[in-house]
Structure 1
Amino acid sequence: MARLAIERRSMAVLSAGHGVNDLAAGAIPALLPFLVIQRHLSYASAAGLILAFTIASSIGQPAFGHLVDRSTRAGLMPAGILTSGVGIALTGVVPGYSLTFLAAVLCGVGVAAYHPEAARFANYVSGARRATGISVFSVGGGIGFALGPATITPLVLAFHLPGTAFMVLPSLVMVVLLLVEIPRLERFRLAPPVMDRREGQRLREGWAPFARLVAVAILRQVVYYALLAFAPLYFVRVFLASPARANLVLTAMLAAGALGTLAAGRLADRLGRKTALAGALALVAVLVGIFTVSNQLVAAVVMIAAGAAIVGTFTTALVMGQEYLPANLGLASGLALGLPDGVGGISAPLLGAVADHAGLRTALQVSALVAVVAVGLALTLRKAATSSSDGALAREHA
């Protein structure tokens, strides 16, 4: 019989690794105001660094996901964390925009290597409470992402842009911990299911709703990256706040996202995946609209609330993707997480061009309209069919 409860020690390791991995990802948006001021980058060029990171991540995650579905590659988890740590460390050290762009690409490759295999193991150790379990895994990434600005901002203030070199230290520590824990994690792999013809047909039918789910996630990422790239700049340029204060609000937004992730997992298990997803996206659309017509204090509160709502949808979408494609957990995770990131990254410089010509407020208002479209598409999603083997797979360690 499958485990009903979440295996806490294993989930703690995976969630901590997720946090360290995403620490690097969260630091990149926080660097943008410093790069705009110190290196005189345009909004579009600054957003291009997010493009570099997200394209590398989006291409890499499905590729790594397909690889881990063919055979277990647990070594990708420590390798990914080390690569992302080295990438963010080099971002402020190397001279010139081209090398900074390549450092962001390296960071994205590291993030891509970690996520599919770690998400697959998180599914295994979650037992029957998948949405709650995946939310615990995801909240580690949310906390790490939130700590990215809080970690890199004082380093840059103290040591200027070369202070990013210190960002590799948490990665080195986590690599050692994962290398110690991987042999134990390997024991939680599920035995491959034996499927009859009807079960195989059910799995093939899961691709159509999965494609719509990915489209929803893509639209969500357009809004998410608009907030990451332009909300801090909005505080600096419109409210005349310092980069440090803008990044403080960004940190609070991402921290709220970690709390929203935990809440989203429980809501998805109780209310249903589609209801939780569409409801959160509707809230995001309203909040982003309010942000653009508010004063500094209200905008900060709204930005934090929007972070809780939008980051919480990551867990719901990931669980739905894995349930639509239960025989391809790595690929489902890679596509649900990676492809939306890539398109979101492409949209960032496009919205940056809008901001350059029409203003930051207009760019953010466009993203609010995108969130409305995402809500409509989310309402078309269906519940994943229940697998005949679901809950009955033997664990190798049992």
Structure 2
Amino acid sequence: MNEKVQRSGEIPAKEVKDIAGKTVFPILFAISFAHLLNDTIQSLIPAIYPIVKTSFKLTFAQIGLITLTFQMAASILQPFVGLYTDRKPQPYSLAVGMGFSLIGLVLLSQASNFEMLILSVALVGIGSSIFHPEASRMASLASGGRRGMAQSVFQVGGNAGSSIGPLLAALIIVPYGQSNVMWFSVLALLAIIILVNVGGWYKLKISSIAKKAATTHPVHTLSRKKVIISVIILLTLIFSKYFYLASMSSYYTFYVIHKFGVSVQSSQVYLFIFLFSVAAGTLIGGPLGDKIGRKYVIWGSILGVAPFTLLLPHANLFWTAVLTVPIGVILASAFSAILVYAQELIPGKVGMVSGLFFGFAFGMGGVGSAFLGTLADRTSIEYVYSVCAYLPLIGLITGFLPDIGRKGR
């Protein structure tokens, strides 16, 4: 490493590009599309809540428990999967994970009681926990040094899938019933085919790409204590982001149904508007972080969404729909920046860091959904949104993060 790098604690952009090679866009797009299919399947779970709440006579607390089960199954295993695959990469594990999701989908379509619902969403969650850490590593290895951009491409597929799922549910499941969830098993089969092919590329290229990628991590001079504090700050920001997202993904349909009297099908369209905005925001955050620095994107994303969340509980139906667009775009731009920032804090542990942050995000979404469901039962769904409006103010702690990476010229 040259003297300039040693002094600055950072690998210059040109060297990073030369070391990492070219961005492998076909792999990035394939992983992103698989992520779209994976998260389309996942998004069916909250999308059918209005149906199962009525047919099984569930409380909001039970709805929250379903989400908690799914999110915990999708979160607890992820850091361990990532840690294991850091040491022993598993090219075909993504296809195996999608197999779990396929079984969960079949069971979900035929569930006849609350216990079967719990089991089916747990299997979908396990599939997700296997998928995300290794898929995130593949995105990093195919990035050509543009890691923020690669994570955004990977993430936008997932968020696009999350936004499409409720729309498909409104067209296929809501009018014709829960059993039509079975049709979505075709998406899982398609994802398995794609992931087997991507796994073949990964198996052939993993040795040479891993050696190159290992040298692209920015070097910093932070102490171990400072790194730990920074990771805690990032996890706290994930908490605020995903607690708020839990209120939207799990209860937004109930909110517009209860407050404005819209139909179940119409409520899915409003949820689609929000989730599509989340997908758009995800695509912005990573490349912007590559140019101006991750910290500035994180700061603007978490704290910048606060004015809109504070206005939302006081808006009519039209302005509710309008406000969810900047909320989704601004809030979603943070995750890719947070994830790559964390990977730069702990270089060489892409799988473990990805698993930790994806897992914690899913876990906070589950805990948030369960907590907010109980709060809605005891108060009202409108009160939940009044409380959650203040969560983005936690973004003030971003100011304590150290500056790593580069600021755009």
Pairs within 5 Å for 1:1-398: 1-3=18-20, 5-186=22-203, 187-188=205-206, 189-191=209-211, 193=214, 206-373=227-394, 375-384=395-404
Quick one: structure 1 residues 45 and 303, their matched pair in 2 at CA, closer, same or farther if it must change by over 3 Å?
same
- CA-to-aligned-CA distance 1:140-176 (integer Å, 9 cap, x gap): 1111111111222322134301111111111101211
Distance 1:95 1:379 in 2: 50
Distance 1:299 1:201 in 2: 43
Could you tell me how far 1:217 is from its partner in structure 2?
A: 0.8
SS of 1:206 mapped into structure 2 = helix
Letter in 2 for 1:135: S
| Residues 207, 324 of structure 1: 8 Å contact kept | no
Residue number in structure 2 paired with 1:390: none
Could you tell me the TM-score, scaled by structure 2's length?
Answer: 0.88
Distance 1:340 1:223 in 2: 11
| Residues 297, 333 of structure 2: 8 Å contact kept | no
Distance 1:204 1:356 in 2: 42
Could you tell me how far 1:312 is from its partner in structure 2?
A: 2.1
Letter in 2 for 1:236: I
Could you tell me how far 1:323 is from its partner in structure 2?
A: 1.2
Could you tell me how far 1:193 is from its partner in structure 2?
A: 4.7
Could you tell me how far 1:385 is from its partner in structure 2?
A: 6.4
Distance 2:299 2:220 in 1: 29
| Residues 31, 198 of structure 2: 8 Å contact kept | no
SS of 2:82 mapped into structure 1 = helix
| Residues 149, 251 of structure 1: 8 Å contact kept | yes
Could you tell me the TM-score, scaled by structure 1's length?
Answer: 0.90
Root-mean-square deviation over aligned CA pairs: 2.2
- Greater shift after overlay, 278-287 or 168-177? 278-287
- CA-to-aligned-CA distance 1:77-122 (integer Å, 9 cap, x gap): 1111222233234224211111101111111110110000010110
| Residues 62, 334 of structure 1: 8 Å contact kept | yes
Distance 1:312 1:49 in 2: 27
Letter in 1 for 2:129: A
Could you tell me how far 1:369 is from its partner in structure 2?
A: 1.5
Quick one: structure 1 residues 261 and 343, their matched pair in 2 at CA, closer, same or farther if it must change by over 3 Å?
closer
Distance 1:280 1:110 in 2: 29
| Residues 20, 81 of structure 1: 8 Å contact kept | no
Letter in 1 for 2:54: I
| Unaligned ranges ≥5, structure 2 | 1-17
Could you tell me how far 1:202 is from its partner in structure 2?
A: 6.2
Letter in 2 for 1:142: N
SS of 2:112 mapped into structure 1 = coil
Distance 2:325 2:221 in 1: 43
- CA-to-aligned-CA distance 1:10-54 (integer Å, 9 cap, x gap): 111111111111112222111112222332211111122111111
| Residues 57, 109 of structure 1: 8 Å contact kept | yes
SS of 1:292 mapped into structure 2 = helix
- CA-to-aligned-CA distance 1:363-383 (integer Å, 9 cap, x gap): 11211222212x122222123
| Unaligned ranges ≥5, structure 1 | 387-398
Residue number in structure 2 paired with 1:395: none
| Residues 220, 404 of structure 2: 8 Å contact kept | no
- CA-to-aligned-CA distance 1:248-280 (integer Å, 9 cap, x gap): 111121111111111112221222211111211
Quick one: structure 1 residues 377 and 199, their matched pair in 2 at CA, closer, same or farther if it must change by over 3 Å?
closer
- Greater shift after overlay, 176-185 or 48-57? 176-185
Letter in 1 for 2:376: A
Distance 1:249 1:172 in 2: 29
SS of 1:82 mapped into structure 2 = helix
- CA-to-aligned-CA distance 1:179-204 (integer Å, 9 cap, x gap): 1232223315312859xxx9898678
| Residues 343, 350 of structure 2: 8 Å contact kept | yes
SS of 1:41 mapped into structure 2 = coil
Paired-residue identity, %: 24
Quick one: structure 1 residues 359 and 122, their matched pair in 2 at CA, closer, same or farther if it must change by over 3 Å?
same
- CA-to-aligned-CA distance 1:291-315 (integer Å, 9 cap, x gap): 1111111101112321222222221
| Residues 236, 242 of structure 1: 8 Å contact kept | yes
Distance 2:170 2:22 in 1: 39
